[in-house]
Structure 1
Amino acid sequence: MAAEGAVIRRGHPLLKIDRKPLVLMYGRLPLYRQLRQGITDGPDVKQWQDDLGLPKTGRVDATQVVSAPATVRVTEAKVDVGERTGPGQGVLRVSGIRQLVHVDLDTDDQALARKGAGVTVKLPGGERIGGKITSVGTVAKSARSGQGQGQDSGETTVDVDITLNKTPRTKLDQAPVDVELESERHKDVLAVPVEALLALREGGFGVEVVEGSATRVVPVEVGVFGSGKVEISGTGLTEGMKVGVPAT
């Protein structure tokens, strides 16, 4: 049986049943009849011929072949070697080899997820990598909570899938990540770390501008927040000014 994490390509066995290999072949249509010499052509036969590049000879049936659209990665072995199985019992769980991020997005935030929009994914260990939303679900489902995830939390979510722009350095499978979605974009604005904001006694916010050994507080209007920074505007503010932040 292929080990968890193994990458299986066309023509290679996923497992053996009674010492007979179950081979992966590429195609979206499962083998639904025995292939043998003299059988009439059909989409399954053409699929088999395309995969092998050979004329149809001998016999092939569903006990010898499993179909998948492309190369797969084994994500879970559901039985042990030598264990007996029965009809309908799962043996292996596989996935594609392209790394994908899945988000159960609260329906209140659904407007933030637009197909094709860019996102930032923060991986365990702090690595940040860009990605793109490839699909957004249209059917809301109930979120689960509680022991065994069997209780309805009262919240609803939609499925959002994201592909990464490049292969991350972090080698993880099914790991929790943080995803930053863009609500709106403002260009050519002044921004400071969120920690630089000061709550003013008279209300509103300000920043401490550092000019050599002197400092002064300048009232500001705040705009959008993102990636630890906040948009600001105010009289006398210019690009390149230094602002104070709390010591860490």
Structure 2
Amino acid sequence: MLVAVLVVAATCGAGYRLLAGGDAAPAAEPTDSRPTVTVQEGTLRRSVRLTGTLGYGAPRTVTGAGDGIVTWLPSAGVTVARGRQLYRVDDAPVTLFYGELPLYRELAVPAPPEPPADDGPPPPPVQYQRGNDVDLVARNLAALGFYDGTTRDATYSGSLVSAVRAWQSARDEEPTGVLGPGNVVVSAGPVRVDGLAAQVGDPAAAPVMTVTTTAKVLTLDLLETDAQDVAPGRRIRVTLGDGTVVRTEVQHVGRPTSSDDGSPATVPVVVRPRTGGALAGAESGPVTAVLVTAAHHDVRHVPVTALLALAGGGYALERPDGTLVPVEIGMVADGEVEVDGIETGASVVVAQ
């Protein structure tokens, strides 16, 4: 049994008719000219319309390191892949590597220990550097064809340092074998230069540019209240600027952000097409989407204009012969209301 929703009056405005009497009000005079509809059975969905953008996602800032001077910058809009220079400092390239963490220290071979004095104890063994940053360098040089050693629990010595020197020579750099945060920018993949924050001649240890991914990204803006039940994998249909409808699923739900004008908080939601190539050739710009917030399946429903609101409480539908059928109502969505108490296929009168 459905629970009567007493707020339909507020939801539907003047979409229903009010009988002056109570539940026992007399039936209206049959009028063959009055419009009717058929009670339907199916799925009733409540949804909200969303806006968003097709672009390259949120930009992130690239900040330089070291004491050098910026001597070259790319143009906004260019893409940079692994092993390519992103910008130059002191006329030496700052290169893009792929990975999950930045280089956080200088990698170099320790100086050999001083020989012991006569009859003195032997020097301690050389402690070569290890760590995730060393493995990151090993993986990138392997991908670039300069290194064929281990990329797990690697040591910054021997063949790996030789690979660094060979890579530096190939780039017309001095083959020092030393690599630090000022030489490499680490990203999860190729990047697109979104904008420049520095100019040639600026100190390197400052914001240099902003970058984005190279793939088009669909981002929707949801009210915080609508985003509470949205999780990765949720399916949403998105309409692009040219009218193309793309079936997507939620990839990432961001954090709520509030505007200074007091508007309700919104949540950025990144969605991805369910089929590859769906965004090929699509122009960047605004998009719209429909998010289904609730769905009732296999229910009977009629237009809200078919409802009779009884003054004594409750609701009814009117058959063409004037007979009143009390009904209980449920979900209201897109001008339709869920009803229980009347058979599927029945004809009922609607307000003109």
Give TM-score scaled by structure 2 length. 0.49
Shift in alpha-carbon separation, 1:186–1:88, aligned structure 2, 3 A: farther
The letter for the 2-side match of 1:56 is V
Q: Distance in 2 between matches of 1:26 and 1:15?
A: 16
Q: CA deviation at 1:20?
A: 1.5
Q: Spell out, residue by residue over 1:180-223, the C-alpha distance to the aligned partner (whole angstroms, 9 max, x if none).
A: 212234567899xxxxx79679899xxxxxxxxxxxxxxxx997
Q: Work out whether 1:156 is the aligned partner of 2:228.
A: no
Partner of 2:294, secondary structure, is coil
Is contact 1:112-1:182 (8 Å) kept? no
Q: CA deviation at 1:129?
A: 0.8
Q: Distance in 2 between matches of 1:97 and 1:230?
A: 44
Is contact 1:118-1:182 (8 Å) kept? no
Partner of 2:233, secondary structure, is coil
Is contact 1:112-1:181 (8 Å) kept? no
Q: Work out whether 1:102 is the aligned partner of 2:219.
A: yes
Q: Distance in 2 between matches of 1:155 and 1:232?
A: 30
Shift in alpha-carbon separation, 1:177–1:190, aligned structure 2, 3 A: farther
Per the alignment, residue 49 of structure 1 pairs with 138
Per the alignment, residue 40 of structure 1 pairs with 129
Alignment of 1:186-201 (within 5 A): none
Percentage of matched positions with identical amino acids: 25
Q: 2:202 pairs with 85, 93, 96, which one? A: 85
**What is the number of residues matched between the two proteins?**
208
Shift in alpha-carbon separation, 1:188–1:72, aligned structure 2, 3 A: farther
Q: CA deviation at 1:131?
A: 1.0
Q: 2:282 pairs with 171, 174, 177, which one? A: 171
Per the alignment, residue 40 of structure 2 pairs with none
Per the alignment, residue 292 of structure 2 pairs with 182
Structure 1 portions without partners, runs of 5+: 145-150, 192-196, 205-220, 238-248
Q: Distance in 1 between matches of 2:216 and 2:250?
A: 13
Q: Distance in 2 between matches of 1:90 and 1:172?
A: 29
The letter for the 2-side match of 1:130 is R
Structure 2 portions without partners, runs of 5+: 1-72, 111-127, 148-159, 163-176, 310-314, 316-328, 347-352
Is contact 1:118-1:131 (8 Å) kept? yes
Partner of 1:14, secondary structure, is strand
Per the alignment, residue 81 of structure 2 pairs with 9
Partner of 2:161, secondary structure, is coil
Q: Which has the larger radius of gyration?
A: 2
Q: 1:141 pairs with 257, 268, 275, which one? A: 257
Q: CA deviation at 1:101?
A: 2.2
More moved, 36-45 vs 64-73: 36-45
Q: CA deviation at 1:48?
A: 0.5
Shift in alpha-carbon separation, 1:42–1:129, aligned structure 2, 3 A: same
Partner of 1:183, secondary structure, is strand
Q: Spell out, residue by residue over 1:137-165, the C-alpha distance to the aligned partner (whole angstroms, 9 max, x if none).
A: 4x5332x2xxxxxx332412233221222
Partner of 1:35, secondary structure, is coil
Q: Work out whether 1:25 is the aligned partner of 2:97.
A: yes
Is contact 1:189-1:231 (8 Å) kept? no
CA RMSD of aligned residues (A): 3.7
Partner of 1:141, secondary structure, is coil
Give TM-score scaled by structure 1 length. 0.66
The letter for the 2-side match of 1:71 is P
Q: Distance in 1 between matches of 2:79 and 2:344?
A: 59
Per the alignment, residue 64 of structure 1 pairs with 183
